[in-house]
Structure 1
Amino acid sequence: MSFIRNILKNSRSQEDGNFFLELQRILGFKPKKKNLYLKAFTHRSMNIRDKKGNPINYERLEFVGDAMLGSVIASFLYSKVPHGDEGYLTKMRSKVVSRQHLNELGKELNLIDLVISRIPKESFGSNIHGNLFEALVGAIYLDRGYKTCEKFIYKKVINPHVDIEKLEGKVISYKSLLIEWCQKEKKTFNYEIYEDTGNDALKHFSVKLSIDDKVVSKGRATSKKKAEEKASKRAFFAFQGQMTKRS
Structure 2
Amino acid sequence: MSRVYPRRQRQLESLVQKLGLSPKIPVKWELLDLALTHPTVSETANYEQLEFVGDAVVRLVAAVVLWEHYPDCSVGDFAAIRSVLVSDRILCQLAKEYGLELYLLVAGSATADIVGQESRLADAFEAVLGAFYLSTHNLELIRPWLDPHFQRLAAEIRLDPARLNYKAALQEWTQAQFKVLPEYRVMEIGQPQQTQERFFAEVWLHEQMLGQGKGRSIKAAEQAAAKIAYLTVTEQE
Q: Same fold (TM over 0.5)?
A: yes
1:185 is paired with a residue whose SS is helix
Using the TM superposition, give the Cα deviation of residue 87 of structure 1 relative to its aligned residue in structure 2, in angstroms: 1.0
Q: Is the 8 A contact 1:191 1:207 kept in 2?
A: no
**1:66 correspondence with 2:55:** yes
**1:175 correspondence with 2:170:** no
Q: Is the 8 A contact 1:106 1:133 kept in 2?
A: yes
Change (3 A) 1:216 1:135: same
Change (3 A) 1:31 1:128: farther
Q: Is the 8 A contact 2:210 2:229 kept in 1?
A: yes
Please list every run of 5 or more consecutive structure 1 residues that lacks an aligned counterpart in the other structure. Answer: 9-13, 49-54
Using the TM superposition, give the Cα deviation of residue 199 of structure 1 relative to its aligned residue in structure 2, in angstroms: 6.1
Q: Is the 8 A contact 2:174 2:181 kept in 1?
A: yes
Change (3 A) 1:106 1:228: closer
Residue 80 (structure 1) aligned to one of 69, 72, 91: 69
**1:213 correspondence with 2:207:** yes
TM-score by length of 2: 0.77
Larger radius of gyration: 1
Aligned residues, how many? 224
Match of 2:120 in 1: 128
Match of 2:226 in 1: 232
**1:14-25 alignment, distance < 5 Å:** 14-15=6-7, 18-25=10-17
**1:72-111 alignment, distance < 5 Å:** 72-111=61-100
Bigger drift between 115-124 and 162-171 goes to 115-124
Please list every run of 5 or more consecutive structure 2 residues that lacks an aligned counterpart in the other structure. Answer: none
Match of 1:200 in 2: 191
Q: Distance in 2 between matches of 1:214 and 1:178?
A: 14
Partner deviation per Cα, 1:181-228 (whole Å, 9 max, x = no partner): 22333364531546x3756369x7665422243222344556554443
Change (3 A) 1:180 1:112: same
Partner deviation per Cα, 1:5-38 (whole Å, 9 max, x = no partner): 5x74xxxxx4376134325424434345332111
Q: Is the 8 A contact 1:208 1:231 kept in 2?
A: yes
Using the TM superposition, give the Cα deviation of residue 65 of structure 1 relative to its aligned residue in structure 2, in angstroms: 0.8
Change (3 A) 1:32 1:211: closer
Bigger drift between 81-90 and 18-27 goes to 18-27
Partner deviation per Cα, 1:129-156 (whole Å, 9 max, x = no partner): 332221111011111112xx2x333212
Match of 1:41 in 2: 36
Aligned Cα RMSD in Å? 3.1
Match of 1:137 in 2: 129
Q: Distance in 1 between matches of 2:135 and 2:8?
A: 24
